[in-house]
Amino acid sequence: MTDTATITTGNLNKFEKLKAEKDGLKIKEEIAQIASLGWEAMDETDRDHRLKWVGVFFRPVTPGKFMLRMRMPNGIINSEQMGVLAEVVQRYGDDGNADITTRQNIQLRGIRIEDLPDIFNRFQAVGLTSIQSGMDNIRNITGDAIAGLDADELYDTRELVQQIQDMFTNKGQGNPEFSNLPRKFNIAIAGGRDNSVHAEINDLAFVPAFKEGTGNWVLGTGQDFSPSPVFGFNILVGGFFSAKRCEAAIPLNAWVTPEEVLEVCRAILEVYRDNGLRANRLKSRLMWLIDEWGIDKFRLEVEKRLGKSLLPAAPKDEIDWEKRDHIGVYKQKQPGLNYVGLHIPVGRLYAEDMFELARLADVYGSGEMRLTVEQNVIIPNIPDSRLSTFLTDPLLERFSIDPGLLTRSLVSCTGAQFCNFALIETKNRALSIIQALETELTFTRPVRIHWTGCPNSCGQPQVADIGLMGTKARKNGKAVEGVDIYMGGKVGKDAHLGKCVQKGIPCEDLQPFLRDLLIQHFGAKAKEEALVKGVRV
């Protein structure tokens, strides 16, 4: 085990110094004292940074009201847990709301420091945790949102994802072995063919791949017997987004069985923890270490930690489907059951929404819900006998199973309303512009539009057909809110990152600009033109 005091990697930046002074997890023991002091009397370093080790984020744009980020491995939550989160949100008035994130978890807003002991007690009672969900920790682990439901899946990722979370959080109690990484670390495990987890943008990703058997001489037959292909995972490493650099993950040239995933994950984390670059925080993600060492040395160091050699990667992975968004009604692998994907506009939920989703899951399903990386909700295990009634529920008027072709693929980060890093307001603007474009245009296919308020890229514009990154633009000699335009991102099979194609478009000029892009590059047509040609709109 390597702890904070033993890491010495050259000149430390200010974040490394604060971690060296006190492990961030220590804040967990001080919650009662902090709650009695109030946020204004807190030590600034504890308030601004160390609270993130228990998932609590100070936001200067909402002083006194904090954001709280949950951990939800594989995006799974039950109705009782959702009800508790709704109760927490309900207490904080107009600003109280929650956001589904692009890592299949939920962030709560409007949280007050003095209520943290009660909130954490409520979480513990229903098996929820926010431990190690911010700062230099492993973030929420993503897995297939329909794991265990999909008749076409190759592997049910749920148990593996939970095992990894339990390892680095000590089953939700906090684990100092992994509480001081050089920077944050993202992990994804794909069990299907459509790369629903966006493997390429994670520091560590496991993607399904079959490896041929070695072959055995079968006695008495005179024949060489080659066993059936064995299922496992190829490993990708180093994918990340940051303000300085964005890179897709690269192959480690390694293949592992499901039984080996946990130990390999630990070994990779330990190598990164003990050797990752710490002097320059802008160069502290895993890919920078791989750049410095080369992929072969990195792989060798991982093997040293494992105490064994890794098998070379399978010749190809099984990501050969286009990306599915799971919105709508689908049959499950379990006979007589269905899952239904509900579109949650830009992932924003209020307390009443959360209570209502819990009600739907209880009344029609098994009480379970799944969150997706597109910020939507899936309700599984709905019997055929209840499906038609489910589809008439009034909540589906708000959370549609058949949204417009722009609306269904819209993703947005929090934006300036609640995040001090964001340079522009995103969620409300994204919704209003998309609604206007769907009024003007007709489409033949979905177009994925992602909004992010700043270069930190929480809204992942680089994986979108059209990505919009908040910036400051100039119009008539004045600074205004604007966006840089990204295009060409691809998800699913042959995934790759998009590139910036236009900088500094003022937000007030964005709607006509997007209209032209959609017509020129994505086959959209003005509704007037479509009517003239006899196209039904």
Tens digits of residue pLDDT in 456-475: 999 999 999 999 999 999 99
Per-residue pLDDT at 492: 83
Q: Mean pLDDT across the stretch 337-342?
A: 98
> 145 φ, ψ to 5°?
-65, -25
Per-residue pLDDT at 151: 95
Q: Respond yes or no: is residue 453 known to be catalytic.
A: yes
pLDDT band at 5 (very low <50, low <70, confident <90, very high): very low
Instruction: Assess whether pLDDT exceeds 70 at residue 508.
Output: yes
Which residue among 69, 278, 370, 429 is the active-site one?
A: 69
Per-residue pLDDT at 535: 45
Per-residue pLDDT at 527: 86
Per-residue pLDDT at 218: 42
Is the distance from CB of 517 to CB of 511 less than 8 angstroms?
no
Instruction: Assess whether pLDDT exceeds 70 at residue 40.
Output: yes
One domain for residues 423 and 513? yes
Which residue among 65, 139, 183, 323 is the active-site one?
A: 183
Per-residue pLDDT at 501: 96
> Which of 398, 417, 436 is the last residue in one of the domains?
398
**Residues 69-89 pLDDT 10s:** 999 999 999 999 999 999 999
Per-residue pLDDT at 213: 72
Minimal CA–CA distance to 457: which of 508, 491, 423, 496?
A: 423
Instruction: Assess whether pLDDT exceeds 80 at residue 487.
Output: yes
Specify the DSSP element, H or E, that contains 389.
helix 384-390
Instruction: Assess whether pLDDT exceeds 90 at residue 401.
Output: yes
Structure tokens at 301: 């160091």
In a domain, 403, yes or no: no
One domain for residues 273 and 340? no
Specify the DSSP element, H or E, that contains 216.
strand 216-218
Is the distance from CB of 453 to CB of 426 less than 8 angstroms?
yes
Angle, CA 85 vertex, CA 371 and CA 448 arms, to 5°: 30
pLDDT band at 215 (very low <50, low <70, confident <90, very high): very low
Q: Respond yes or no: is residue 459 known to be catalytic.
A: yes
Considering only residues 50 and 94, tell me which one the structure prediction assigns the higher pLDDT. 50
pLDDT band at 420 (very low <50, low <70, confident <90, very high): confident
Q: How do beta strands 142-143 and 187-189 pair?
A: parallel
Per-residue pLDDT at 314: 97
pLDDT band at 491 (very low <50, low <70, confident <90, very high): confident
One domain for residues 416 and 394? no
Residue % of the chain over a pLDDT of 90:
88
One domain for residues 98 and 52? yes
Burial of 252 (0-12, 13-18, 19+ CB in 10 A): buried
Angle, CA 250 vertex, CA 246 and CA 253 arms, to 5°: 165
Which residue among 459, 467, 470, 489 is the active-site one?
A: 459
In a domain, 102, yes or no: yes
Per-residue pLDDT at 529: 63
In a domain, 376, yes or no: yes
Q: Please, where are the H alpha helices in 249-350? A: 261-275, 286-293, 295-306
Q: Respond yes or no: is residue 127 known to be catalytic.
A: no
**Under 8 Å CB-to-CB from 521, ≥6 apart: which residues?**
487
> Which of 64, 94, 125 is the last residue in one of the domains?
125
Q: Mean pLDDT across the stretch 483-507?
A: 93
Q: What is the CATH number of the domain that holds 415?
A: 3.30.413.10
Instruction: Assess whether pLDDT exceeds 80 at residue 351.
Output: yes
For 184, 230, 264, 519, the CA distances from 212, given in Å and listed in that order, are: 35, 6, 21, 47
Per-residue pLDDT at 4: 42
**Residues 10-39 pLDDT 10s:** 578 899 999 999 999 999 999 999 999 999
Instruction: Assess whether pLDDT exceeds 70 at residue 341.
Output: yes
DSSP E strand boundaries for 415-459 = 441-442, 449-452
In a domain, 320, yes or no: no
Q: How many domains does the chain have?
A: 4
Q: Respond yes or no: is residue 184 known to be catalytic.
A: yes
Q: Which of 20-24, 241-245, 271-275, 479-483 has the lowest mean pLDDT?
A: 241-245
One domain for residues 113 and 187? no
Containing structural domain, residue 469: 408-532
One domain for residues 341 and 378? yes
Q: What predicted TM-score, i.e. pTM, was given to this entire model?
A: 0.93
One domain for residues 158 and 301? yes
In the numeric block, the tokens 């946990």 are attached to 262
Mean of per-residue pLDDT scores for the chain: 92
Per-residue pLDDT at 243: 87
One domain for residues 254 and 181? yes
Q: What is the CATH number of the domain that holds 36?
A: 3.90.480.20
One domain for residues 416 and 525? yes
> Which of 68, 91, 125 is the last residue in one of the domains?
125
Which residue among 55, 458, 482, 490 is the active-site one?
A: 458
> Side-chain half-sphere of 394: how many Cα atoms within 13 Å?
2
Which residue among 453, 467, 470, 489 is the active-site one?
A: 453
Instruction: Assess whether pLDDT exceeds 60 at residue 6.
Output: no
**Residues 157-214 pLDDT 10s:** 999 999 999 999 999 999 999 999 999 999 999 999 999 999 999 999 999 999 987 4
Which residue among 184, 359, 475, 527 is the active-site one?
A: 184
Q: How far apart are CA 360 and CA 352, in angstroms?
A: 12
